[in-house]
A = this chain, B = another copy of it.
Amino acid sequence: MSPVFQSHNARTGETLPGEFPEATSEQIDAALRAAADAFRTYRNAPVETRALFLERIAAGTEAAAEDLIELADQETGLGRPRLPGELVRACNGARMFAAMLREGSWVDARIDTAIPDRKPAPKPDIRLMHHPVGPVVVFGASNFPFAISVIGTDTVSALAVGCPVVVKAHPAHPHTCDRLAAIVKSAALESGLPDGVFAMVHGRSNEVGTALVAHPLTEAVAFTGSLRGGRALFDVAAKRDRPVPVYAEMGSLNPVFLLPRALATRAEQIAEGFVASLTLGTGQFCTNPAMVLAQGGAELDLFLNEAGRRVAAVAPASMLHRGIHQAYEQGVNRIQILSEVLVTAKASGADLSKGQAAAVLFETASETYFKHREVLREEVFGPSSVVLRCPEPSEMVRFAESMDGSLSATVHGTPEDLEEYRELIDVLQTKTGRLVINGYPTGLEVCPSLHHGGPYPAATHSFFTSIGLNSYLRFVRPFCFQDVPEMLLPEELKNHNPRGIWRMVNNVRTQSPVG
């Protein structure tokens, strides 16, 4: 008999009824074999079948919304309105990919027609489009039980392009995962798809994750979570006889830069927005602003006073699970014990027995960062942020040049500030995946222009995004047809362009037929 684990109420810590078995290696093997079998037909399933499958996942989720929100609330403590909002976002995601499939241009079709009488050699007919890579293993995140879990972007983008998916259920919300998996399975059945197109396994041990990534039939892996967890899976995949990509999004510092004129004119307003961003969802976002840089002075004191006042007033809340809470406490302590660091403000009343996090704001001189870089470069997942007082503008550039890869950087500045700090803004673009001006890094806008990734350790591969329309690029590869007769070409590459998609034909973007 394989070992089992249980789920817990995030707020009370109480054990919830029900047991979840650690997947055995036989179960993992069976899931991937079934996925590889399903790939034979699923990759060629009609566009409309795949689109309907995604829409049924969305509809099934919406139909079970109340139950799902109740389950997820027990297991994550994320509450309302967050969970209903996130459920809508996840369903919108599935529908976004259904729409992408029906529109069809996502395959990036390219056609270069033959020139049989070209000298010195004839030019062949060459055509290109995206093909799915094969079975994808998805590791969801604890902080997004809908949008980055069983039915999240990873799963629906992979299913959209024709890849079967094996999900590793998050052990912090296994009940929610089970319910969602049943919805996906039923949507697959209703769509007449092979059972292996979707599977889910449970596991709290590293062994389950390792076995999924190491399995010879796994073609790609998506992961959202900690640097340690993501890197461990990356290392497993890199050591395979046949390495496969692990697309891990592992969070970052998301520094916020407060430029002088902006600080002088709206320190309190920025403090309000900043604290809201820092403490949203108990600070449990990959894009949480964990570091602030500004030149010292009266304006910065005003910001610190106001931000401190607001941080102190944040009601403590239970974190997603006890492991995350413990890591938060340890992370905060690592900073707190540095003699150069001052605690500007800390929320009071946190009940540690309930896994509650106290929001905290630190301040220190920017030189502390360079002195204790090994401590301060590390993301503390939760509502904690460190303000670095910079002696002069060049110190911000120095920080930017030395910082690790980050999902985002935020700059608050007046037009004059931004003009004056062009070098900073330029350097930040080499270190991050997204630049936010006069806003806040949390709250991703899911759209074709979004990029959620960045240089390592924000992500393991900076070309790819884990959120937004382009997230499907992780699960496709270009495939090239040379002199392939019309009868064997996919619809997307046939001369008459039956799907009416945008294509690049002989170097011209067009929706017209060839010839």
Interface residues of A (CB under 8 A from B): 39, 43-44, 85, 105, 110-112, 120-121, 123-124, 126-128, 131, 133-134, 234-235, 238-239, 242-245, 404-405, 415, 418-419, 422, 425-426, 429-430, 432-439, 443, 445, 447-451, 453-457, 460-463, 465, 470, 473, 476-485, 487-488, 502, 504, 507, 509
Question: Could you pull out 13 A-B pairs where Cβ atoms are within 8 angstroms?
Answer: A121-B443, A124-B439, A128-B450, A242-B456, A245-B461, A429-B479, A433-B479, A435-B484, A451-B479, A451-B480, A463-B476, A463-B477, A470-B478
Q: A128-B451, A488-B418 are known contacts. Are A430 and B134 too (CB-CB below 8 A)?
A: yes
Q: A128-B449, A449-B128, A509-B509 are known contacts. Are A436 and B483 too (CB-CB below 8 A)?
A: yes
Minimum distance in angstroms from A470 CB to a CB of chain B? 7
Smallest CB-CB separation from A240: which chain B residue?
B456
Q: A44-B426, A242-B457 are known contacts. Are A438 and B483 too (CB-CB below 8 A)?
A: yes
Report whether B126 and A449 are in contact in the complex, using a CB–CB cutoff of 8 Å.
yes
Q: A479-B451, A483-B439 are known contacts. Are A488 and B434 too (CB-CB below 8 A)?
A: no
A243 partner, pick from B460, B473, B485, beta carbons under 8 A: B460
The docked-state distance in angstroms from the alpha carbon of A439 to that of B449 is 40
Smallest CB-CB separation from A493: which chain B residue?
B449
Chain B residues, CB < 8 A from A425: 488
The docked-state distance in angstroms from the alpha carbon of A179 to that of B266 is 59
A445 partner, pick from B112, B443, B470, B502, beta carbons under 8 A: B112
Report whether A482 and B439 are in contact in the complex, using a CB–CB cutoff of 8 Å.
yes
The docked-state distance in angstroms from the alpha carbon of A493 to that of B243 is 37
Closest 4 CB pairs of A and B: A238-B238, A451-B480, A434-B480, A462-B477
Chain B residues, CB < 8 A from A123: 445
Minimum distance in angstroms from A28 CB to a CB of chain B? 21
Smallest CB-CB separation from A454: which chain B residue?
B477
Chain B residues, CB < 8 A from A133: 462
Smallest CB-CB separation from A100: which chain B residue?
B507
The docked-state distance in angstroms from the alpha carbon of A238 to that of B451 is 24
Chain B residues, CB < 8 A from A436: 482-483
Report whether B434 and A482 are in contact in the complex, using a CB–CB cutoff of 8 Å.
yes
Smallest CB-CB separation from A110: which chain B residue?
B449
